[in-house]
Amino acid sequence: MSSSSSSCKSGPGYASPLEAMHNAPREKIIYVSMLPCDENQPNYLATIDVDPESSNYQQVLDRMYFPNTHDEIHHYGWNACSSCHSDCTKQRRFLVFSCLKSSRIYVVDTIDEMKPTIFKTIEGEDVKKFDLSSPHTVHCLGTGEIMLSCLGNGEGELPGGFLLLNEEFDIIGRWNTDDGPTPDQMFYDFWYQPRHNVMVSSEWAAPNVFDKGFNPSDVSLGKYGRQIHFWDWSERKYIKTVDLGEDGYIPLETRFCHDPSVPYGFVCCALGSSIYRFFRDDLNEWQAEKIIQVEPVIGEDGQPIPACISDIVLSMDDKFLYFANWFHGDVRQYDISDPSKPKLTGQVWVGGLLKRKHHFEDGRPLVGGPQMMQLSLDSKRLYFTNSLYSSWDNQFYPDIKENGSYLVKIDCDTENGGMKLDQEFYITFKDEPTGPSRAHEIRYPGGDATSDIWC
């Protein structure tokens, strides 16, 4: 959707990451995707007040319920972002939601930021007509089109692919013009950088594999990924695969640096409990190197517990990297001024399987570990939730089903490094109208550190 005005000087977002960091207003509300633990209840979008000056601070202002059940709303993104900043006909107004279980795609209108409404529903059967299912990551493109990664084919097996929507939110077809490296290629997240004519994508597993929960034997059977893939952005064709090895199993979230001139980025590997940097070498080839390894901890049963790095985010000036260890229960901050030799500068403990004493001074009980994160545009506030995926939650943190999720905030030192848990910020989703609910991805109306891409 587009709008035009004779007085329009720019499109959505900001001209550069540093302009966003230094000039963006502080977020006053945030959106959080919610899944009732009662699967017969519809998913919903929570609008939450995060303005400390507001009388409704830390309150859910609105719940917009989706019209169906058994969707498993997961990730979502904007119809337009800073990639369209030079086009004054574009407007950041619509959120596009992907559903892992039903394969539906919802479009939500935020013209009233305090009370979003359903604008359009794309049924899962329409997605499957292109032999795709389980849409996941949503990114707006500089053209105004919207692209989604899909984790499976029409039957929930491999391979998946990329789906493209036009500005009217109609399905155009597949983005990729070839099938990729192998018939059983896995898909998950992606990030593009037109200035380097490249896109990088990561891997999880086929929907029919991960939906049942995690079975360790599936790893040795090759049912979970450990590769990242590079694509020619302009030609929409596969270029190259990099196998990350044993320490690279389940590479999930991928992030190029915000500065579009920088030819490298990072990917977090959940099962491998590692961070890899991908980069273009002196021969103009894309490579990857491991830069962080979180060692497993021996649990009470004598078995090693991996960290399970489930999310990663970069500060807007590309100085700090943050990641969440869903199993261990800590959030870490690293100085990546030297991207090959990151330095640990902050660590906060909040829940986890290790049952380590967390950083809430009142000792409140915490269920689950830190999972999805979102950083404010000025990079000073890091919000996070604790739900990964319903069947995985039930397997590793079954108490979430009775207690629901939480939303927590960490204050970040953007000059010298360091993090401090906000003792006064804690939102529980135990007593929601439709019962205890799982909280997943977070977005801000004005854009954020994981949805905006600069070209």
Q: What is the pLDDT of residue 178?
A: 81
pLDDT tens-digit series, residues 234-246:
999 999 999 999 9
256, 314, 248, 249: which is closest to 286 by C-alpha?
256
Range(s) of the domain holding residue 349:
17-443
Percentage of residues of the chain with pLDDT beyond 90 = 92
pLDDT tens-digit series, residues 294-351:
999 998 889 999 999 999 999 999 999 999 999 999 999 999 999 999 999 999 999 9
Contact status, residue 310 vs residue 368, Cβ threshold 8 Å? no
In a domain, 105, yes or no: yes
> How many domains does the chain fold into?
1
In a domain, 11, yes or no: no
Output the average pLDDT for the chain: 96
How many CB atoms sit inside 10 A of residue 355's CB?
11
In a domain, 453, yes or no: no
In a domain, 455, yes or no: no
pLDDT tens-digit series, residues 58-117:
999 999 999 999 999 999 999 999 999 989 999 999 999 999 999 999 999 999 999 999
In a domain, 251, yes or no: yes
In a domain, 381, yes or no: yes
Q: What CATH number has the domain bearing residue 268?
A: 2.130.10.10
What is the Cα–Cα distance from 365 to 351, expressed in whole angstroms? Answer: 8
In a domain, 58, yes or no: yes
Q: What is the pLDDT along the chain (455 residues), one digit of tens a residue?
A: 444 444 567 899 999 999 999 999 999 999 999 999 999 999 999 999 999 999 999 999 999 999 999 999 999 999 999 999 989 999 999 999 999 999 999 999 999 999 999 999 999 999 999 999 999 999 999 899 999 999 999 999 999 999 999 999 999 999 988 878 888 999 999 999 999 999 999 999 999 999 999 999 999 999 999 999 999 999 999 999 999 999 999 999 999 999 999 999 999 999 999 999 999 999 999 999 999 999 999 988 899 999 999 999 999 999 999 999 999 999 999 999 999 999 999 999 999 999 888 899 998 889 999 999 999 999 999 999 999 999 999 999 999 999 999 999 999 999 999 999 999 999 999 999 999 999 999 999 999 999 999 99
Whether this prediction's pTM lies above 0.75 is answered by yes
In a domain, 7, yes or no: no
DSSP collapsed to 3 states, the chain = CECCCCCCCCCCCCCCHHHHHHHCCCCCEEEEEEEECCCCCCCEEEEEECCCCCCCCCCEEEEEECCCCCCCEEEEEECCCHHHCCCCCECCCEEEEEECCCCCEEEEECCCCCCCEEEEEECHHHHHCCCCEEEEEEEECCCCCEEEEEEECCCCCCCCEEEEECCCCCEEEECCCCCCCCCCCCCCCEEEEHHHCEEEECCCCCHHHHCCCCCCHHHHCCCCCCEEEEEECCCCEEEEEEECCHHHCCEEEEEECCCCCCCEEEEEECCCCEEEEEEECCCCCEEEEEEEECCCEECCCCCEECCCEEEEEECCCCCEEEEEECCCCEEEEEECCCCCCCEEEEEEECCCCCCCCCCCCCCCCCCCCCCCEEECCCCCEEEECCCCCHHHHHHHCCCHHHHCCEEEEEEECCCCCCEEEEEEEEEECCCCCCCCEEEEEEECCCCCCCCCCCC
